[in-house]
């Protein structure tokens, strides 16, 4: 009976998805758009009164008579840069959690037969948008993109947009109240006005058909009044593909293309230019083709067993600059991963910006993507489930054409309860019904019993690849503990050690038993890697973590100072000793396993 209600509820939210944006416009990077990045005026609204105060902060009024009483004025206020978190832009906002109102004027010229959308790459956590005083929509979730149509709200000449972003933590949120990362607030990713023809290519998908190397499966979805029975043309010049199809009455067409593409791989991150044309629209993208499967303990990339030489990464800019968002940030972080000889990164613990995923794809780096279902969220709450599903769908929609994305992770270190099982298996259903060419995983808690690490979690039955966060030598025993631990897995599935690590302050030295020293961290890496290299079901490792990152939970004065110190690189880009241990290990692994 309960199952029935959950199904009805999920159907209901599919049709009435009003807090989570409209259908996503695919491939924003290559669209015709106007950037709204730059300076935005702000009001810091600690008590969150602005929606109803003096008629609403979203109604921008010119100053009238000099005796008029007005208790707020964007024109006289401070500003923030977008994209960017507010915490690192103003000292007084460093620990601010609550609402900030953003305002920007822009000039616009309305165009005939064009539709205009406002697109946000991401804003943390709840976002309300008004254009010229009219409410456009609300979005919940801090790390995924959303867009709203604003065609009818825009006028010729000056327009204004007001956005309220609230980063208050919530018990029923995703994530919930406590995380081990910093709750950066604000419009943290790009904002664009996207101009599209009346009937445009709203979404598309092109990847190899499951189990095939010579069939590209795809679909295109048009949006607009002329979307039905309309021609859609697909061109992939390098593969000599030039085919046309006709959409159905909903503007949708599914197709298969015979082709023998070169496989995308870390060694050969080959991307093909794909052009999609409809009667009124044209878009291109760079798409790679590969297969990913599991067989017993193996992860097979293009049919060959692969070992994932990975590292975890938070979306924090290198050199201590707050949230990362740009291509330049992505390049620095991923170059460090390359220097380690990684072929894989775990983008923890929420969807990272699109630049990160695309840059990794260009550089030949495989990716684990994750939603912020983290620790103990409100698993029994259907609204929380709705929220998690929406965040999952948004990121799957954005990245479904990326060849390097091989793993969707539904959770990190969640408690083994009935509610959690129901919640996570619903998420897995969403993945399985939308994507049959990627693998499902989750980072499970450590399973430590005396000298035995036995993987035991009912969720493992539902995963293609099991992620395990172990912390031998840090939360469990001293580094040498690893030498006597045995591993056991009752599942005939590949395992990735999704986390292990140790805190160390760059430049702080001691012997290998001195906590927080680089030597202790180095020792944790040495003992763990030695242990893990002997476990036959392990097919990948992503230690915690590439770079020290801000976390309010980490208060040890003089050492942590609100940084989680498990980075093998400091927040200022200095490499710790463990960096070289991991690099040496990956160099050895690469000799045994080719990509």
Site map for ligand GCB, 330-369, x if CB under 6 A?
Answer: -------------------x--------------------
C-beta closer to ligand GCB: residue 116 or 124: 124
C-beta closer to ligand GCB: residue 101 or 544: 544
Kindly report the number of other CB atoms within 10 A of residue 31's CB atom: 18
C-beta closer to ligand GCB: residue 378 or 470: 470
CA distances 392 to 294, 400, 424, 428, 496, Å, are 22, 12, 12, 10, 21
Distance CA 178, CA 552 (A): 9
Q: How far is the CB of 547 from ligand GCB (least distance, A)?
A: 12
Q: How far is the CB of 87 from ligand GCB (least distance, A)?
A: 18
- CB of 207 within 8 A of CB of 401? yes
C-beta closer to ligand GCB: residue 428 or 442: 442
Distance CA 505, CA 180 (A): 18
Helix, strand, or coil (residue 253): strand
Three-state secondary structure string covering 521-551 = HHHHHHHHHHHHCCCCCEEEECCCCCECEEC
Among 278, 343, 564, 570, binds ligand GCB (CB under 6 A): 564
Chain residue at closest Cβ approach to ligand GCB: 180
Residue 500 touching ligand GCB (CB under 6 A): no
- Find the radius of gyration of the CA atoms of the chain: 25
C-beta closer to ligand GCB: residue 104 or 565: 565
C-beta closer to ligand GCB: residue 387 or 469: 469
Which helix H or strand E contains 429, and what residues bound it?
Answer: helix 418-434
C-beta closer to ligand GCB: residue 88 or 564: 564
Q: DSSP letters of 358-414?
A: HHHHHHT-EEEEE---BSS--TT-HHHHHHHHHHHHHHHHHHTT-TTEEEEEEEES-
C-beta closer to ligand GCB: residue 180 or 369: 180
C-beta closer to ligand GCB: residue 413 or 595: 413
Distance CA 16, CA 518 (A): 52
Among 128, 329, 394, 413, binds ligand GCB (CB under 6 A): 413
Residue labelled with tokens 């081990």? 180
Residue 397 touching ligand GCB (CB under 6 A): no
What is the length of the chain?
A: 595
Distance CA 370, CA 391 (A): 10
Number of H helices, E strands in the chain: 7, 33
Q: How far is the CB of 370 from ligand GCB (least distance, A)?
A: 10
- CB of 566 within 8 A of CB of 544? yes
Find residue 232's DSSP bridge partners: 245, 278
Q: Which two tokens stand for residue 297?
A: 């303990």
Q: Which of residues 180-199 bind ligand GCB (CB under 6 A)?
A: 180
Kindly report the number of other CB atoms within 10 A of residue 34's CB atom: 13
Residue 521 touching ligand GCB (CB under 6 A): no
Q: Which of residues 164-183 bind ligand GCB (CB under 6 A)?
A: 180
Q: How far is the CB of 485 from ligand GCB (least distance, A)?
A: 17
Residue 202 touching ligand GCB (CB under 6 A): no
All residues at 6 or more sequence positions from 12 whose CB lies less than 8 Å from its CB, including other chains? none
For ligand GCB, how many residues bind (rule: CB under 6 A)?
A: 9
Among 566, 582, 585, 595, binds ligand GCB (CB under 6 A): 566
C-beta closer to ligand GCB: residue 403 or 569: 569
Q: Which of residues 102-141 bind ligand GCB (CB under 6 A)?
A: none
Among 387, 409, 469, 521, binds ligand GCB (CB under 6 A): 469
Site map for ligand GCB, 246-285, x if CB under 6 A?
Answer: ----------------------------------------
Which helix H or strand E contains 218, and what residues bound it?
Answer: strand 215-223
For the chain, the straight-line distance linking the first and the last C-alpha, in angstroms and rounded, comes to 48
Q: How far is the CB of 521 from ligand GCB (least distance, A)?
A: 12
Distance CA 269, CA 552 (A): 38
C-beta closer to ligand GCB: residue 365 or 468: 468
In the complex, the residues that contact ligand GCB under the rule CB under 6 A are 180, 349, 412-413, 469, 499, 544, 564, 566
């Amino acid at each position: 009976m309960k199952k029935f209600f959950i199904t009805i509820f999920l159907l209901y939210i599919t049709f009435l998805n009003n807090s989570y944006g409209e259908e996503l416009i695919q491939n924003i990077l290559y669209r015709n758009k106007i950037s709204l990045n730059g300076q935005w005026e702000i009001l810091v609204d600690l008590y969150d009164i602005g929606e109803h105060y003096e008629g609403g902060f979203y109604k921008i009024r010119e100053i009238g008579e000099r005796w008029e009483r007005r208790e707020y004025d964007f024109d006289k206020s401070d500003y923030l840069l977008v994209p960017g978190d507010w915490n690192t832009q103003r000292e007084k906002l460093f620990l601010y959690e609550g609402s900030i109102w953003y305002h920007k004027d822009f000039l616009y010229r309305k165009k005939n037969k064009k539709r205009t959308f406002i697109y946000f790459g991401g804003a943390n956590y709840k976002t309300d948008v008004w254009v010229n005083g009219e409410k456009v929509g609300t979005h919940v979730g801090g790390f995924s993109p959303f867009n709203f149509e604003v065609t009818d709200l825009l006028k010729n000449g000056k327009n204004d947009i007001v956005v309220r972003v609230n980063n208050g933590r919530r018990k029923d949120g995703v994530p919930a109240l406590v995380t081990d990362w910093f709750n950066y607030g604000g419009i943290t990713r790009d904002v664009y006005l996207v101009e599209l023809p009346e009937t445009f290519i709203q979404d598309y998908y092109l990847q190899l058909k499951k189990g095939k190397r010579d069939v590209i499966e795809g679909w295109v979805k048009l949006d607009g009044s002329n979307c039905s029975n309309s021609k859609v043309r697909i061109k992939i010049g390098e593969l000599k593909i030039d085919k046309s199809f006709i959409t159905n009455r909903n503007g949708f067409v599914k197709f298969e293309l015979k082709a023998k593409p070169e496989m995308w791989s870390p060694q050969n991150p080959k991307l093909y230019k794909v052009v999609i044309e409809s009667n009124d629209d044209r878009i291109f993208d760079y798409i790679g083709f590969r297969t990913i499967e599991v067989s017993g303990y193996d992860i097979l990339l293009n049919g060959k067993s692969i070992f994932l030489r990975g590292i975890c990464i938070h979306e924090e800019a290198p050199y201590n600059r707050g949230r990362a968002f740009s291509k330049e940030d992505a390049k620095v972080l991923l170059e460090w991963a390359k220097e380690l000889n990684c072929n894989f990164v775990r983008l923890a613990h929420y969807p990272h910006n699109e630049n990160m995923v695309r840059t990794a794809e260009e550089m030949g780096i495989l990716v684990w993507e994750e939603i912020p279902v983290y620790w103990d969220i409100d698993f029994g709450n259907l609204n929380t489930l709705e929220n998690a599903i929406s965040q999952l769908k948004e990121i799957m929609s954005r990245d479904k054409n990326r060849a390097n994305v091989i793993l969707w992770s539904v959770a990190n270190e969640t408690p083994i309860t009935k509610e959690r099982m129901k919640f996570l298996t619903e998420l897995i259903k969403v993945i399985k019904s939308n994507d049959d060419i990627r693998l499902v995983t989750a980072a499970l808690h450590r399973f430590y019993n005396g000298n035995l690490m036995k993987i035991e979690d009912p969720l493992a039955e539902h995963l293609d690849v099991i992620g395990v966060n172990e912390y031998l030598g840090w939360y469990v025993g001293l580094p040498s503990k690893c030498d006597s631990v045995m591993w056991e897995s009752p599942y005939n599935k590949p395992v990735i050690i999704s986390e292990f690590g140790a805190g160390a302050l760059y430049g702080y030295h001691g012997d290998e038993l001195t906590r927080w020293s680089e030597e202790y961290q180095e020792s944790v890496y040495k003992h763990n890697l030695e242990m893990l290299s002997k476990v036959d079901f392990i097919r990948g490792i992503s230690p915690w973590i590439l770079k020290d990152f801000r976390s309010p939970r980490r208060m040890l004065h003089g050492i942590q100072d609100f940084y989680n110190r498990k980075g093998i690189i400091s927040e200022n880009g200095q490499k710790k000793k463990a960096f070289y241990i991991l690099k040496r290990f990956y160099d050895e692994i690469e000799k045994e396993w080719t990509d």
